């Protein structure tokens, strides 16, 4: 996902940017700027996905209310607030590298490791859509809504944890050198 955004940013480079990229010592800076732009775009896409899930959750709340589930509204509202908080954290997060003149430099391998966090976040944001659909199905089929809500909350908690670890890694880039710190590349291995 991030690589697509990096390629898009490279394709949009103007003549001056291309010239600067050719200068010794500047190439890495331009590449990092492209990655920084890609990082922002990835986070915006993930936050937009979470916003879509929250909007779908509001529809679930309305259906639950119509089905007589007033007693469950507080729990669903708490889940919606947790999801909104996560989306806001992602929208306002720090960029994924240290600037050119910062005392701490982030290595390319560490930037690549951040991509794994972004991919894991994108997978989990996609899984959240399925959790919302499960909530809607539980209402419609009069199934165990509480179990579906618990699974939704587990997914939001896992997303928060992933994003928290990503934030720590930006503050302490050497954490990205430890493979055990990184999210699994296997979509089913998390949680």
Residue 92, SS3 per DSSP: coil
Quickly count helices (H) and strands (E) in the chain. 6, 0
> What are the residue ranges spanned by the domains of the chain?
46-177
In this predicted structure, which of 15-24, 31-40, 45-54 has the lowest mean pLDDT? 15-24
The structure tokens listed for 145 are: 């809504």
Q: Is the pLDDT of residue 166 over 80?
A: yes
pLDDT value at residue 100: 42
Q: Would you place residue 84 in the very low, low, confident or very high pLDDT band (cuts 50, 70, 90)?
A: very high
If pLDDT is split at 50, 70 and 90, which confidence band does 114 have?
Answer: confident
Distance CA 82, CA 14 (A): 41
pTM score, two decimals?
A: 0.74
CB atoms within 10 A of CB 95: 15
More confident residue, 50 or 105: 50
């Amino acid at each position: 996902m991030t690589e697509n955004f990096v390629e898009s940013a490279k394709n949009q480079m103007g003549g001056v940017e291309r010239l600067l990229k050719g200068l010794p010592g500047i190439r890495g800076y331009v590449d990092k700027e492209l990655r920084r732009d890609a990082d922002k775009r990835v986070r915006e896409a993930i936050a937009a996905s979470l916003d879509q899930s929250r909007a779908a959750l509001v529809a679930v709340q309305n259906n639950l209310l119509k089905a007589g589930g007033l007693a469950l509204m507080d729990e669903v509202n708490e889940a919606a607030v947790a999801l909104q908080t996560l989306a806001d954290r992602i929208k306002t997060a720090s960029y994924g590298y240290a600037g050119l003149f910062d005392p701490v430099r982030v290595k390319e391998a560490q930037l690549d490791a951040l991509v794994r966090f972004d991919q894991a976040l994108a997978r989990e944001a996609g899984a959240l859509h399925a959790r919302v659909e499960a909530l809607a199905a539980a209402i419609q089929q009069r199934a165990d809504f509480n179990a579906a809500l618990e699974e939704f909350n587990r997914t939001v908690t896992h997303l928060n944890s992933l994003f928290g670890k990503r934030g720590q890694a930006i503050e302490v880039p050497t954490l990205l050198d430890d493979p055990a710190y990184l999210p699994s590349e296997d979509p089913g291995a998390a949680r």
